[in-house]
Structure 1
Amino acid sequence: MMKKRAASLALAGAVVLTLNGLSPTVSTARAATTTCSVVTLKYGASRHDLVKTLQSRLGGLTVDGYFGSGTLAKVKAFQTTRGLVADGIVGPMTWDLLGGFPGCTTITGYVMADSGAAGSKANIRSGPGLTYSIVGSYGPHAKVTGTRIGTGPWLHTSRGYVHKGTLETTTSNPSSINGRLSTSSLCKVSTSYNSPDTFDPDYTPKTQRYLNCDDQPYLKALEASYKAAFGHYAAIDLTYRDIDEQWYWYNKFGSPRAAYPGTSNHGYGLAVDFRETDQPGEEFGWGGVGQKWLSANAHRWGFASPFTYGTDGESYHFQFVG
């Protein structure tokens, strides 16, 4: 979305959750599990089999089944790497990023996309990876049930393979959580990707951005490749957008320039707006070197632009579709 530049501008806890894919209750943990109990582990835990699984997945530890200081340090390092709060508590989200809680392999989710937003879909691929061909797509709020492939992010469904980072698993109505996610259920985006600009509402070069945890590694890989090509990261203006901010932009620009609040792809932490300067020849404007590179390469990491080249659509907007 277009942004007016300003000259200046001055959970963690130990819990045991039983998650059901059909439950209307929003869980800030948002672990990709259905009808199975997720046991939270913390320092001093003596659930030997579970701790052994944890230690094996973390790697570099003696697999002794005891959650001691070495395991605690490894958990915190993993959480930091993935952008989670580094509290050392292995709850639903940490389990999910480690490959899922043991035994929770069948997952039911609903596509995090609303019919009022451009590019609302989740890709279906012929195999469990982004190098496989796209054979179809699931539309907004489509129910998707699949079996997790190993400990990775791909689900094998009746129609093909879907990335679970496109699915909401705690409610059958994704719109109910659009823009209402706690940042503790999202992952931090490296501030080294931040736009150098200050702009409304209340963004500075140091403002923390957030993204869906399953999708963040792909953004990191995209940014690394972009830096290798251009010598700097692809600067980001906006990522997750809460409901208040969605209303801000809607009141400022109206429809169709701004998605109606509660329908934006940004409200799920799936979309990224790269830097926009409102200047001729800008890096991510139509025909800009950054925009052309992203159009040609972003699909390698599961991101796509829903807008046709040269139209009034946002040249700098890309979203994760798997």
Structure 2
Amino acid sequence: WRPSSPGSLAAGLCNPPLLYALHDSDPWMRFHGANPPRPCPLFRPSPGVDGCARAARRWWFLSPVRHGSTAVTLNTDGGFARFSVGDPGPNQNGGQNQPPAKKKMSKKSKVNQLKWYRLKAKKKMKSPNPEVRIRYKLGKAKRKEEWLIEKLRKYEAPRAPELVHDPEILTEEEKFYLKRTGEKKKNYVPVGRRGVFGGVVLNMHLHWKKHETMQVVCKPCRPGQVYEYAEELARLSKGTVIDIKPNNTIIFYRGKNYVQPKVMSPPDTLSKQKALEKYRYEQSLEHTSKFVEQLEQELEDYQKHVALFKKREGAISEQISNEDSAVDDLTTNSDTD
């Protein structure tokens, strides 16, 4: 029997013959010997706390039993016996142990932790032992060096597959002519602290639109770095290096069959902002590496000094003990005489 509307449902619940018929048709209720439900009025007062408890107990004893297997497992991890009812843990998670969730720290605990670290560092910096101070500075510098190396790895642009480039073969007369032409003309492209990036190659192609030759001025430039710049620019711009001057100036020739590319800034180069960030990290890494070498030398010198001091102390104590033994021998000889 299914009610067609809420009104018919209420009428059915308040109809005693219908309720008895439902009781007779239910095999579970007939098997357990449950009494048929009593007719209830539509509007019934609230049963209260005691009435709710009695209704809950009645529902517990009259509810159908679930014919399912309840597994009791014994867990002896950690030297303790623990019983659990139900499926074991690995089966519930599909055989995978989930990592424990990280406990979030409050703002106050974070501040206290930072204060503790600062106090610990302050004690090491003001330690009377020089070795403790040097080792603290050395560890801090090495951690910074590793951090800078990880930062610089992000700026390593992947190189695109290089196309086959056949450089033009120039005679000595052509090289001499192009060199003189490049020296006379005033068009140049600066390469500063950012090094070689996409904007430098773009400027070279813009100069080659009206000039065959151009100068690349590298300033500031470390000794020998100008040759690295020349090789990198020749690879990116497909130009020809004519001459490298002592004042870190490179003369480039665009080529006889030069065609301006559609994308003048190569995609495997850094932008202007990222090139500056890379330069700053490189400069910081250079100074940090020098500082690490200096601290390692200081630590080595201090350890040598301590070893020499202990050796001298041992020699002095041995000499004093020998003198004392000689004095004791003289006193014993005089007593025997």
Is the TM value for this pair above 0.5?
no
What TM-score do the two structures reach when normalised by structure 1?
Answer: 0.18
Greater Rg by CA: 2
The structure richer in helix per residue is 2
Greater relative CO, 1 or 2 (CA 8 Å, sep 6+): 1
| Greater fraction strand | 1
